[in-house]
Amino acid sequence: MKKIKYLLCFVFLGLHSINAFSQDKIFLKSGENIDCKILEINIDNLKYIKSSNIDGPTYTVLKKEIHMVLYENGESEIFDNVNTN
Protein backbone atom coordinates (compact mmCIF):
# COMPACT_ATOMS: atom_id res chain seq x y z
CA MET A 1 0.00 0.00 0.00
CA LYS A 2 2.88 2.37 0.82
CA LYS A 3 4.43 1.73 -2.57
CA ILE A 4 1.22 2.70 -4.33
CA LYS A 5 1.01 5.96 -2.37
CA TYR A 6 4.62 6.82 -3.25
CA LEU A 7 4.04 5.93 -6.88
CA LEU A 8 0.91 8.10 -7.08
CA CYS A 9 2.73 11.02 -5.44
CA PHE A 10 5.64 10.65 -7.84
CA VAL A 11 3.34 10.53 -10.89
CA PHE A 12 1.33 13.53 -9.67
CA LEU A 13 4.44 15.62 -9.02
CA GLY A 14 5.98 14.57 -12.32
CA LEU A 15 2.94 15.59 -14.31
CA HIS A 16 2.61 18.84 -12.40
CA SER A 17 6.24 19.79 -13.06
CA ILE A 18 5.89 19.06 -16.79
CA ASN A 19 2.94 21.44 -16.94
CA ALA A 20 4.83 24.12 -15.02
CA PHE A 21 7.77 24.14 -17.42
CA SER A 22 5.91 23.67 -20.73
CA GLN A 23 5.74 27.33 -21.63
CA ASP A 24 7.69 30.01 -23.41
CA LYS A 25 9.38 32.88 -21.55
CA ILE A 26 9.92 36.41 -22.78
CA PHE A 27 12.71 38.37 -21.08
CA LEU A 28 12.21 42.10 -21.61
CA LYS A 29 15.04 44.64 -21.52
CA SER A 30 13.21 46.31 -18.63
CA GLY A 31 13.88 43.21 -16.51
CA GLU A 32 10.32 41.85 -16.62
CA ASN A 33 9.83 38.14 -17.42
CA ILE A 34 6.61 36.92 -19.03
CA ASP A 35 5.48 33.29 -18.90
CA CYS A 36 3.48 32.77 -22.08
CA LYS A 37 2.75 30.84 -25.22
CA ILE A 38 4.16 32.64 -28.26
CA LEU A 39 1.70 32.66 -31.13
CA GLU A 40 3.44 34.67 -33.83
CA ILE A 41 6.69 36.51 -34.52
CA ASN A 42 6.48 39.32 -37.07
CA ILE A 43 9.05 41.73 -38.48
CA ASP A 44 8.74 44.23 -35.62
CA ASN A 45 6.64 42.55 -32.92
CA LEU A 46 5.77 39.32 -31.15
CA LYS A 47 2.25 38.10 -30.24
CA TYR A 48 1.60 35.90 -27.22
CA ILE A 49 -0.97 34.77 -24.66
CA LYS A 50 -0.19 34.62 -20.96
CA SER A 51 0.28 31.18 -19.40
CA SER A 52 -1.89 32.19 -16.48
CA ASN A 53 -4.83 32.86 -18.83
CA ILE A 54 -4.60 30.69 -21.95
CA ASP A 55 -8.15 31.62 -22.99
CA GLY A 56 -7.43 35.32 -22.47
CA PRO A 57 -6.46 38.10 -24.86
CA THR A 58 -3.56 38.14 -27.27
CA TYR A 59 -0.79 40.56 -26.28
CA THR A 60 1.75 42.24 -28.55
CA VAL A 61 5.25 43.41 -27.60
CA LEU A 62 7.74 45.20 -29.84
CA LYS A 63 10.91 43.24 -30.65
CA LYS A 64 13.04 46.22 -29.68
CA GLU A 65 11.71 45.83 -26.09
CA ILE A 66 12.73 42.13 -25.91
CA HIS A 67 16.11 40.91 -24.72
CA MET A 68 15.55 37.17 -25.23
CA VAL A 69 12.91 34.49 -25.73
CA LEU A 70 13.25 31.04 -24.20
CA TYR A 71 11.02 28.50 -25.94
CA GLU A 72 9.43 25.52 -24.21
CA ASN A 73 11.74 23.10 -26.06
CA GLY A 74 14.79 24.79 -24.50
CA GLU A 75 15.88 26.80 -27.53
CA SER A 76 16.48 30.52 -27.12
CA GLU A 77 16.52 33.53 -29.39
CA ILE A 78 18.18 36.85 -28.60
CA PHE A 79 16.62 40.07 -29.90
CA ASP A 80 19.18 42.63 -28.65
CA ASN A 81 20.31 43.65 -32.13
CA VAL A 82 16.87 44.09 -33.68
CA ASN A 83 16.81 47.13 -35.94
CA THR A 84 13.28 48.41 -36.45
CA ASN A 85 12.56 51.76 -38.07
Distances (CA, A) of 40 to 17, 49, 58, 61: 26, 10, 10, 11
- Determine the pLDDT at residue 4: 57
pLDDT in tens, 5-54: 544 445 455 554 444 545 999 999 999 999 999 999 999 999 999 999 98
- Determine the pLDDT at residue 81: 75
Q: What is the mean pLDDT of residues 68-83?
A: 88
Strand partners, 27: 33, 68
pLDDT in tens, 52-67: 998 999 999 999 999 9
- Determine the pLDDT at residue 3: 59
